[in-house]
């Protein structure tokens, strides 16, 4: 019973101290979520000093400054989504983006398909349905993707390196 009160008292006191000097989080092994949040409340940049920040700690930091995403080694998908919803340009700094983040990024800026290694047909379709000319960024678009691009924009055909037979026929039928 005494241990419990000592620990909660320690945590409460340490949180108050971290709100005044958040960089002290560096010296705490395995900080609690409350300690992380107190350090981040002092300054969002203290996220750099936390080895394994919780989702709440990550979100608190990027809500202070979205550019802090660069200093989070493994940002949670929700944190990634929040950041790219504020600034799509930060997609490029996210290390190992989640599938949901990639999908959102392509939905917001289809040319980002160029930054995805071996994009799935689903991602390719999202890109070309928004901007058919984005097919130029897809090295091996599937037949379905080629047809979607050409049917949405006749001119996108010129960006297909090896068009499938269906895309050739569709293009010929659409010719003005």
- Percent of the chain, pLDDT > 70? 94
Could you tell me if 24 and 76 lie in one domain? yes
Asked if 174 and 154 count as a contact pair (C-beta separation under 8 A), the reply is: yes
Could you tell me if 98 and 171 lie in one domain? no
Could you tell me if 63 and 134 lie in one domain? no
Q: What is the pLDDT of residues 126-151, one digit of tens each?
A: 999 999 999 999 999 999 999 999 99
Q: Is the pTM of this model over 0.95?
A: no
Determine the pLDDT at residue 1. Answer: 29
Could you tell me if 131 and 102 lie in one domain? no
What does the alpha-carbon distance between residue 90 and residue 108 come to, in Å, rounded to a whole number?
12
Could you tell me if 91 and 151 lie in one domain? no
Could you tell me if 95 and 131 lie in one domain? no
Q: What is the pLDDT of residues 67-89, one digit of tens each?
A: 999 999 999 999 999 999 999 99
Could you tell me if 99 and 28 lie in one domain? yes
Write down which residue in 60, 78, 108 finishes a domain: 108
Could you tell me if 130 and 79 lie in one domain? no
Determine the pLDDT at residue 6. Answer: 43
| pLDDT confidence band for 7 (50 / 70 / 90) | low
What does the alpha-carbon distance between residue 52 and residue 78 come to, in Å, rounded to a whole number?
16
Determine the pLDDT at residue 21. Answer: 87
Could you tell me if 79 and 158 lie in one domain? no
Could you tell me if 11 and 45 lie in one domain? yes
Neighbours of 143 (CB within 10 A): 13
Write down which residue in 56, 73, 108 finishes a domain: 108
What does the alpha-carbon distance between residue 9 and residue 118 come to, in Å, rounded to a whole number?
52
Write out the E strands in the chain.
Answer: none
Q: Could you write out the DSSP letters of every residue in 33-69? A: HHHHHHHHHH-GGGGGG-SS--HHHHHHHHHH-GGGG
Asked if 42 and 20 count as a contact pair (C-beta separation under 8 A), the reply is: yes
What does the alpha-carbon distance between residue 164 and residue 64 come to, in Å, rounded to a whole number?
49
* Residue ranges making up the domain that contains 80: 1-108
22 vs 58, residue with greater confidence: 58
Asked if 111 and 137 count as a contact pair (C-beta separation under 8 A), the reply is: yes
Asked if residue 2 has pLDDT above 60, the reply is no
- How many domains does the structure of the chain reveal? 2
Could you tell me if 91 and 36 lie in one domain? yes
Could you tell me if 92 and 130 lie in one domain? no
- The DSSP secondary-structure symbol of 53 reads -
Q: What is the pLDDT of residues 10-38, one digit of tens each?
A: 777 888 888 888 899 999 999 999 999 99
Write down which residue in 89, 108, 127 finishes a domain: 108
């Amino acid at each position: 019973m005494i241990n419990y009160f000592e620990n909660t008292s320690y945590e409460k006191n340490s949180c108050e101290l971290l709100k005044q000097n958040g960089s002290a989080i560096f010296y705490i092994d395995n900080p609690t979520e409350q300690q992380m949040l107190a350090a981040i409340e002092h300054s969002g940049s203290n996220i750099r000093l936390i080895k394994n920040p919780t989702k709440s700690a990550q979100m608190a930091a990027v809500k202070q400054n979205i550019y802090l995403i660069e200093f989070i080694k493994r940002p949670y998908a929700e944190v990634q989504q929040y950041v790219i919803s504020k600034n799509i340009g930060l997609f490029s700094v996210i290390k190992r983006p989640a599938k949901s983040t990639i999908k959102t990024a392509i939905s917001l800026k289809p040319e980002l398909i160029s930054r995805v290694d071996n994009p799935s047909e689903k991602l390719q379709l999202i890109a070309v349905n928004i901007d058919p000319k984005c097919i130029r960024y897809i090295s091996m678009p599937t037949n379905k993707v080629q047809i979607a691009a050409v049917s949405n924009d006749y001119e996108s055909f010129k960006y297909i390196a090896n068009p499938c037979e269906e895309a050739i026929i569709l293009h010929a039928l659409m010719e003005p």
